[in-house]
A and B are shown apart, each in its own frame.
Chain A
Amino acid sequence: GEDVEQSLFLSVREGDSSVINCTYTDSSSTYLYWYKQEPGAGLQLLTYIFSNMDMKQDQRLTVLLNKKDKHLSLRIADTQTGDSAIYFCAETFDTGFQKLVFGTGTRLLVSP
Chain B
Amino acid sequence: NAGVTQTPKFQVLKTGQSMTLQCAQDMNHEYMSWYRQDPGMGLRLIHYSVGAGITDQGEVPNGYNVSRSTTEDFPLRLLSAAPSQTSVYFCASSSGTAGDYTFGSGTRLTVV
Q: Measuring CB to CB, which residues of chain A are less than 8 angstroms from any residue of chain B?
A: 4, 8, 30-31, 33, 41-45, 48, 50, 88, 90, 92, 96-100, 102-105
Contact = CB atoms under 8 A, between A and B. Distances in A.
Give the one of B43, B94, B106 with max A CB within 10 A: B43
Contact of A45 (B41, B99, B104): B99
Contacts of A31: 98-99
A64 to B, nearest CB: 18
Contact of A50 (B43, B45, B98): B98
Nearest to B6: A42
Given A99-B48, A100-B101, A42 B90 contact: yes
A13 B72 CA distance: 44
B98 A104 contact: no
Contacts of B90: 42-43
Nearest to A44: B103
